[in-house]
Structures are given as C-alpha cells and as structure tokens.
Amino acid sequence: MTDLVRERLKSVPNRPGCYLMRDRRGVIIYVGKAKNLRRRVSSYFRPGARHAPKVRSMVETVWDFEWMTVRNEAESLLTEASLIKKYKPHFNILMRDDKRYLALRADPSAQWPRFSCCRIMRDDGAEYFGPFPSAPVVRAAKDFVEKRYGIRMCSAIVPDAETHRHCMADVVRTCSAPCLGRVTNEEYRRRFGEACAFLRGERQGETACVEEKMRAAAGRGDYETAARYRDTVAALREMTKAHFVRRSPQMRAEDAKRGIAELAEAIGLKAPPRIIECVDISNLFGTDSVASLVVARDGLPDRRYYRHFRIRTIEGADDPRSMAEVVRRRYGPESTLLSASPRADLFICDGGITQLRATRAAFAEMGIDDIPTIGLAERQEEIVLDDGRDSLMLPRDSQALFVCTRLRDEAHRFAITYHRNIRERAIRESVLDEVPGIGEAKKLKLLRAFRSVYGVARAGEGEIASVAGVGADIAAEVLRAARAAVHAGGRA
C-alpha cells in the first residue's frame, strides 16, 4: 500500500458511492461500488486480508484511488456500469451484451417517432434514457408516457390503416392514432417532445398528478388501482433520478469546456487552452521545500501527468526561485518530462506577481516564448498578468474561475500531501536511530529489505535479526520501536 493510498483512506466517507483504482501511471484499473465506501475500500488494504488471486494482483498494482458519493445503492450501480463501459478497466469483468441494463431509446428523426427498449446505446443521433438496473422501471415508464402523451406503440416504421387494423391501443384510447390522421405530424411531434421532456425530469407536475390519482383511488377503497399508481410513481421517480445521475459527468465536462473558452477570452488567448499546468510550492518554515505540478486536459484534472519535485537548489522559503527551478526541470533541455508529458497551452503559477515574473524569466532563459503564463493570487482569487494589464477579477460564478481555482486547489493538495509524506517518513525512519546497536548502515539495510518502517513493523524478530545482523534483544527493540512509530502515526 502506497503512502498516497494511506492518506486517501483517512477521508473516505461512510456513504454509498463508486470508487476508481489507479496504477502508477494514473490509468484506471478497477471500478467498484459500495453501500459504505469506507468499509469497502478499506477491506482491500486490511493487513492479513485473504484476497482471491485476481483481487490480490489488483491491490498490489493500486497506486492511488478516488471516489464519488451518490444518494443510494441504485445510483451507485448505474454509475459503476457507466464508468466501466467508459474506461474498460483491466481488472473489471466486462459486461456481456445480454447482461447490460435496459434503456429507453427515442429517435426524433423518424417520421412518427416512438419509444423502444434496448440494451445497447449507440451514437446514432437518438436520445437514450438510462440504463437502469431495474427492467420493470423502464417498462413502467415507457407504458406511462405512451398512454399519457398518446405515443404510438406499434413497431411499424410508418403506420398506416393496415397497421391500425391490428392495433388495440386506439380501441382503448391510449394512442393519438397518427396512422388515421387524427393528429398532424406537428402535433404528434409536440407530444413526443413533451414525453421526452418528462423523462428528462423537466415535467415534475406529471408525477404529482399520478400521486393525486393514487390517493383518490385509495380514498374510495380501490386499493388495487392505488397500488398500480404507487408502483408507477416509484418507477417514474427512479427513471428521472437515474437520468440525472447519467447526465452529471457529461455536464461537468461541458462546464469545464465552457470554462476554458471563457478563460481564453478573458486573458486573450487565440484558442481555449487544451492542456493547463499549475505549480504550487510547499515548505514548513523554510525546510523541505517541495513542488507539485498538476495538469488539466480540456479543463478536467488528468492525473497521469501529475509530478512531484523536491527543491534542490534553493535554501529556505523562496517561492519565486523555487517556481523557476520547477520550470527549468520541467522544460529544460535535459528534462525527462519533455516527451513524457504534453506541452502546456497555459501555465499557472500559484502566487502573485513575484512568482509570475520568476516563472516568465525561467521560460525566457530557455528561449520559450509560446507558453502563456499567468499567476493566481489566492487572497482575492485574481488572475495576475505581467504584460502591463491590470489583474483580472473574474465573476465568482464564472466557469473560467472555477477551472483555475479547482486546478490550483488540486496542486495545493498534491503538494501538501507530498510534503507531509516526506516529513512523516523522516520522523518514522528516525526512530530506528534511537535503538541502541542500530547505526546508519544497519538502518539502511532494514529499510532496503522491508522498504519502510511499516514493513519493519510487520516483520518478525528473526527476519530483523537476520537482515541487520543483530541479536534477538536488539531485534526485539527494533520491532517495538517500529510498531510504536506506526501506532503513533495512526497507520497500523
């Protein structure tokens, strides 16, 4: 288990949701769901857990993970299915076609459009509602909108009088009978549009009408009819709720794209910045300075290209010069990141004018003049420029500001986590220095063999004695000190 995973486990909530496991490259390798995220995710990394070979292999590959909370188990099921189909993680068992969830398909391009159930959603111009884990929900919603809005149920591409001869829907007055000319094409399409709007959750009053009918039926003692209305209401609520769940990741992406377009216009770029890099510096009273570089692609974080830096050439707290060092190590001629990471269309440094000027000077030293660079001052959330223009104060509700502040906050989190890990590692490793009979050479042997103080704490006295070349008494003292350090850190 990596230090990053240990840090993440502290903040996993006790709520239903989905989780995504990533490998060292940031690639999603597994997607799962849970009624209780903390209990489920923690179970993978519990000491002594007896996993199946496949799960054990996955756990050993996990470098980082993230999660998203939902309102209930049904939403987690839908979200999991959507994420698996999107990312196709290596350790997930891909769903076969006959195990896919049911969805409703509405094709507005047809002359007389209708609703149909399907299990595969294609990019064919039709609108899809779902998928939904419960097939009865889909069929109940389809039945309701067909009857409520007079949508035809027959499967004929263009219904005619012959089709009507075999149709029962018109007999019981649930179809608007376009095949007989009882409604015009324009009127029929208006009804179809209203039905689609209802399925999107835009006509909540319709559900209230069904509830009223349910109460009326129960009031007159017609409990069988009331039960049917009750089931219909439950199905309609599930349908519209799940549609919002499916739409929310797409809405976030659309907001991000709108944000980078607004940002480009605000700072005068020729095109929206597809790749944005943001750097943050972190230190503790001038010691152990580190930096984080995070990347957004199309306005959304792309963790594959996140990087940590330990500041090498600067002593003390000097954020501007530290920022310049990061720029040189990222874009200098000897950098290993030039081919490993995409070049930025916009570079953001966390800080004010001094950090920005140091960053631009570092770019100028290397002859790089085609990467637009801005600063982001945290106090007023203002965009700082160094080209004679005043700082920009974007509206608090603008998507452009959201893109910048989200990325800055992510850089800050990533830097703080790295800095904390370095400090904690130094503190934990120093406990071995306090054990009589353990010098620098023996300490390094132990850390190389067991990788960390955590590994030492899990080892046996005999293993410690063999690796360090010490007696049983010293090995027992090493084990006691290591376990005490792990326990004090809350990581046992």
pTM of the model as a whole: 0.46
Give a three-class secondary structure readout of the chain.
CCHHHHHHHCCCCCCCEEEEEECCCCCEEEEEEECCHHHHHHHHCCCCCCCCHHHHHHHHHCCEEEEEECCCHHHHHHHHHHHHHHHCCCCCCCCCHHHCCEEEEECCCCCCCCEEEECCCCCCCCEEEEEECCHHHHHHHHHHHHHHHCCCCCCCCCCCHHHHHCCCCCCCCCCCCHHHCCCCHHHHHHHHHHHHHHHCCCCHHHHHHHHHHHHHHHHCCCHHHHHHHHHHHHHHHHHHHHHHHHHHHHHHHHHHHHHHHHHHHHHCCCCCCCEEEEEEEEEECCEEEEEEEEEEECCEECHHHCEEEECCCCCCCCHHHHHHHHHHHHHCCCCCCCCCCCCCCEEEEECCHHHHHHHHHHHHHCCCCCCCEEEEECCCCEEECCCCCCCECCCCCCHHHHHHHHHHHHHHHHHHHHHHHHHHHHHHHHHHHHCCCCCHHHHHHHHHHHCCHHHHHHCCHHHHHHHHCCCHHHHHHHHHHHHHHHHHCCCC
**Tens of pLDDT along 87-112?**
788 887 643 444 567 888 888 888 88
Find tokens 């004010």 and name the residue: 352
Instruction: Point out the least confidently predicted range of 11-20, 193-202, 267-276, 353-362.
Output: 193-202
**Tens of pLDDT along 206-264?**
777 778 888 888 888 888 888 877 877 777 777 666 555 555 475 577 888 999 999 99
Mean pLDDT of all residues in the chain?
81
Most confident segment among 53-57, 365-369, 402-406, 430-434: 365-369
**Alpha carbon of 123 to those of 18, 83, 95, 119, 128: distances in Å?**
25, 17, 19, 13, 10
Q: Which fold has domain 3-95?
A: GIY-YIG endonuclease (3.40.1440)
CATH code at 275-423: 3.30.420.340
What is the architecture, at CATH level 2, of domain 435-488? Orthogonal Bundle (1.10)
Burial 374-398 (b: 16+ CB within 10 A, else e): bbbbeeeebbbbeeeeeeeebeeee
Over range 169-190, report the average pLDDT: 76
- Residue 164 pLDDT more than 70? no
**Tens of pLDDT along 310-347?**
888 887 778 899 999 999 999 998 888 888 889 999 99
**Could you check whether 3-95 and 435-488 share the same CATH topology?**
no
Domain boundaries, the chain: 3-95, 102-246, 275-423, 435-488
